[in-house]
Structure 1
Amino acid sequence: MSSFSADWSRRKFLRGALATGALALPGTGLLAGCATSGGGQEQTEGEKTAKNPLGVPEDQPLEIYIFNGGFGDEYAKEIHEPMYKKAYPNAEIQHKAEVDIQGALQSRFVAGNPPDFVNDSGDGQIPLGQLVSDKQLYDLSDLFDAPSWDDEGTTVGDSLVPGAITQGTFGDKPYVMHMALTVYGTWYNKALFDEKGWTVPTTWEEMMALCAEIKGTGIAPWTYQGIHARYMLWPLMSMAAKLAGPEVLTDIDNLKEGAWSNEAIKEAANALLGLRQNGYILEGTEGMDHIQSQNQWSAGKAAFIPCGSWLENEQEDVTPEGFQATMMPDPLLSKDSKMPLETVYAAAGEPYIVPAQAKNPRGGLEYMRIMLSKQGAKGFSEKVSSLTVVKGASDGVKLPGGLESAKKALDAAGDNVVNWLFPTWYGKMWNPGINTHIGDLMAGRKSVDEFSAGCEAEAKKVRDDDSITKYTR
């Protein structure tokens, strides 16, 4: 595996995929009872010095919650927390890993007693827009304006790839720090393909022909993350954008009437439904969670699975020796597609927040500054097999094969990177909304027209609800 420089088209990617304007969601009011403006939070500020530009109270405890999902929590315990402890030896670090962040912390937000730093991720994520609307998040402007950990002549913001701050900006202020740089595509085991002499398909016609051949060997051609069927929306949206152009996705984000009935969306949906109709999906997939289906893929029971570039790390403990996880761009629906095969879906992600009512918010900002150092970001990449938003942090890092393939796919895409924002803007529209309809489609419970109509209905709910703030790009 080769090393790579920070220039490998991430600037091109982020210009196109991340420079999308402010991100926000409507508040649901669930936290409104304790909503504050964050007033008084600066009472915990310590003396600002060259070594402590954020004014961290050097002896105050720091309480940290990490989402214990695909990335685990070792990167926090073994990389970032020791760096914080070295800088502030008198500060006690209280570490907690949780699978269900909302279940663990929503009552604490309501009570006005949240932790100082939260990795708000996973299916149990507290909706970020809800937290912003209820004034529960600390403004991160001071973090991004502060000197970087590595160079006092460069701000933290300037040390990040373009657009990384925008991805976490709501209105005119940044409230969320995104660490990971994720590439999405269709995954396969290169060793198996080499053994069988299978050629990676570039069109859907080639995909269906290969699926027939794969099925004949007793291996299921496809599986997906079952009850989290929204994973299948990623290839659907990607292939639709390749077919008809990125405007298809913009229309969906902008809640344009009829956007989900676009012929490109329907053609992509029909292609994926064809996997079910032809018996090309692993039996029982629709009832599996993401771990169960991915484990079946890792065990060689299925040839293809959709996922983001965290997949290899998430499967590390169950991946057999010799397995070569490899990502390919989603196939073209037509050779006359408006965007090239190399087009990929990619985005900055994995959100981290500092609650406005934290006891030690300046410590939370400092912890973020440590994460966004080259040492902190490099350690993150090495621990969790993910690219990061920190310029140059991956220089000299040896990437595992799967992540290397994702990096090569992103490099090959150049400016042809697509993204969509409605899951962040309108959380319930995404899940359970669209998740339910794509699940019904993939299980054969809905036709393509019924799927499109269901998604249209979800968009209409948001469009017609005057209590929901609307966003466009």
Structure 2
Amino acid sequence: MSQLPDSTSDLSRRSLLRGTAAAGLLATPAVGLLSACAGSSTGDDKADTGAKTNDNPLGVADTGKVDVVVFNGGLGDAYAKFDVTVFNKKHANVTVNLSSTLKIKTEQQPKFSTTPADLINNAGADIMALDTLVNEGALTELTPLLDAPSWDDPNVKVRDTLLPGTINDGTFDGKVLVLNYAYTVFGVWYNQALFDKNGWTAPTTFDEFFTLAPKIKSAGVAPFAFAGKFPYYMRWAIMSWIWQSGGKSAVVDIDNLKPGCWKTPEVMAALEATEKLVKDGYTLPGSATLTHTESQQAFLDGKAALLPCGTWLENEMRQTIPSGFQMKLANFWGVSAADKAKGAVFAGSGENWIVPKKAANAAAGMEFLRAMFSVEGAGKFAELTSSLSSRAGSGDKVTNSTALVSAGEVMKKASGELVSFKHPDWYADIDKAEQNAIGELMAGRMTAAKFADTLQAATDKVAGDSAIKKFTRDA
């Protein structure tokens, strides 16, 4: 895929993956939980170091070990296992202790006051809150890695191999503290074979959806499924609809805690359309209690025609995709004819990778990341996961995935800047309130008006609390 317009995103992504905060269950971390980390020396001060060369720009010692923890979720851990072989091509005598888990916060956060792992994939439902890690000074600044020669070409810096937005996504007050490895395209998935069989066309606007939905329902299929147990999955759709309806400024105002930001006509149009989707009975019964994999399996089983998710979907469900299923991605549809950012696409980097400041071997942790961003490592990631890496060109050789090819088509049609939002990573209190409200909205227990009231109150509370560090983004 060619390079994309400059952008920032959550991915949390996934953010979130991309990269996103825990599904409405993430309690605000106790004050001072990581306070022992603040002001400590960088981890590589405690480790033996080697001579710095073009092949070893971070000065990794000739021997020793590096502890790497990968989140074994939708993208699996096979790519990280492959990266061990890439790393050891240049550091044959350094032992890589690679472990994978779903319980990142549970297993790793308690170690931050002593000796955490050297490199951590901070992702999934049990994610560590980034605002806490940043505010407590618990993370190593990654500029030395970005300014280092790339793994494959000493004349090209690591930063110059990354897709647009990747560096900005991990920047806090001018410091790069996070690098996101996956580059995700988000949208609404459908089965082309099912749509062809019934003569359906994937909707591009809410009006088209509301016209198509009764036809889908009459065929015995629910028009729309979602992961109700993890509300941040629907946040990707809702924030994309807000961006399309109100333009970039609508989302920037939300991120910047602007008074009244949740109650503008454009934001309300997106919220009211979402409410109508639920109230008109177009969601799969029981979706409000489904996990992400349960909703995805319902989609694969033909119980639902449309499903919001990111491009990790194929890899996460690879073992249960039926024969003949033609998985394709469509952009989140527009809200109305008055949309200010028609065709805007939500895509960007996710899957947080961090190097703790108290890591015993921070230099080797950064070096492992450098290996991951190699041509070989990033290409294998795309091959194994049917997802893009944040390194430019990672998916160029993958042609056997209708999912990844369709994601590329979505990107080719992208107009303007890519959809991005920051507030879930910046403010844990807003994130928690937002995910809870999304859960209520999608369960039919909250109106769009009440949703706006709830989020505006949460936003105003954070804005008025001088003890909470504030972040801003450009308009």
Q: TM-score, normalised by structure 1?
A: 0.92
Partner of 2:384: 383
- Helix, strand or coil: the match of 1:61? strand
Aligned mates of 1:279, 1:255 — CA distance in 2:
33
Task: For residues 282-312 of structure 1, give each alpha carbon's deviation from its aligned partner in whole angstroms, at most 9, with x where no partner exists.
Answer: 1111111111111111111001111112112
Aligned mates of 1:40, 1:362 — CA distance in 2:
8
Q: Return the offset for 1:396.
A: 2.6
Amino acid at match of 2:437: H
Aligned mates of 2:459, 2:7 — CA distance in 1:
27
Partner of 2:74: 70
Partner of 1:57: 61
Task: For residues 95-120 of structure 1, give each alpha carbon's deviation from its aligned partner in whole angstroms, at most 9, with x where no partner exists.
Answer: 1111010001111112x110111101
Q: Structure 1 residues 44-53 or 357-366, which shifts more?
A: 44-53
Q: Structure 1 residues 53-62 or 125-134, which shifts more?
A: 125-134
Partner of 1:437: 437
- Do the aligned partners of residues 17 and 100 (structure 1) sit closer, same or farther apart at CA in structure 2, a change above 3 Å counting? closer
Q: Return the offset for 1:414.
A: 4.0
Amino acid at match of 2:36: G
Task: For residues 325-371 of structure 1, give each alpha carbon's deviation from its aligned partner in whole angstroms, at most 9, with x where no partner exists.
Answer: 1111122222232222x221122111101111111111111101101
- Helix, strand or coil: the match of 1:350? strand
Note the 1:201-216 alignment, pairs <5 A: 201-216=203-218
Aligned mates of 1:200, 1:159 — CA distance in 2:
34
Tell me if the contact between 1:29 and 1:130 (Cα under 8 Å) persists in the aligned partners: no
Q: Return the offset for 1:17.
A: 6.2
Note the 1:327-338 alignment, pairs <5 A: 327-338=329-340
Aligned mates of 1:350, 1:199 — CA distance in 2:
32
Tell me if the contact between 1:236 and 1:265 (Cα under 8 Å) persists in the aligned partners: no
Tell me if the contact between 1:38 and 1:138 (Cα under 8 Å) persists in the aligned partners: no
Amino acid at match of 2:142: L
- Unpaired runs of 5+ residues, structure 1, are 19-24
Percent same amino acid among aligned pairs?
Answer: 38
Aligned mates of 2:158, 2:143 — CA distance in 1:
10
Aligned residue-pair number: 455
Amino acid at match of 1:56: V
Tell me if the contact between 1:237 and 1:265 (Cα under 8 Å) persists in the aligned partners: no
Q: Structure 1 residues 28-37 or 305-314, which shifts more?
A: 28-37
Q: Return the offset for 1:85.
A: 2.1
Check if 1:97 corresponds to 2:95: no
Provide the alpha-carbon RMSD of the alignment. 1.9
Aligned mates of 2:446, 2:165 — CA distance in 1:
38
Aligned mates of 2:286, 2:110 — CA distance in 1:
36
Q: Return the offset for 1:235.
A: 2.1
Q: TM-score, normalised by structure 2?
A: 0.91
Q: Return the offset for 1:240.
A: 2.5
- Unpaired runs of 5+ residues, structure 2, are 11-20, 22-27
Partner of 2:142: 140
Tell me if the contact between 1:38 and 1:136 (Cα under 8 Å) persists in the aligned partners: no
Partner of 2:304: 302
- Do the aligned partners of residues 416 and 366 (structure 1) sit closer, same or farther apart at CA in structure 2, a change above 3 Å counting? closer
Tell me if the contact between 1:16 and 1:415 (Cα under 8 Å) persists in the aligned partners: no
Aligned mates of 1:128, 1:29 — CA distance in 2:
14
Within the candidate set 86, 100, 103, 1:83 is matched to: 86
Aligned mates of 1:121, 1:247 — CA distance in 2:
28
Q: Return the offset for 1:37.
A: 2.8
Note the 1:171-190 alignment, pairs <5 A: 171-190=173-192
Partner of 1:279: 281
Q: Return the offset for 1:471.
A: 1.5
Aligned mates of 2:435, 2:275 — CA distance in 1:
15
Partner of 1:468: 468
Q: Return the offset for 1:245.
A: 1.7
Within the candidate set 161, 164, 169, 2:163 is matched to: 161
Q: Return the offset for 1:229.
A: 2.1
- Helix, strand or coil: the match of 1:185? strand
Aligned mates of 1:465, 1:392 — CA distance in 2:
44
Aligned mates of 2:233, 2:61 — CA distance in 1:
43
- Helix, strand or coil: the match of 1:187? strand
Tell me if the contact between 2:429 and 2:462 (Cα under 8 Å) persists in the aligned partners: no
Aligned mates of 2:206, 2:43 — CA distance in 1:
58
Check if 1:129 corresponds to 2:161: no
Aligned mates of 2:400, 2:167 — CA distance in 1:
25
Within the candidate set 237, 254, 268, 2:270 is matched to: 268
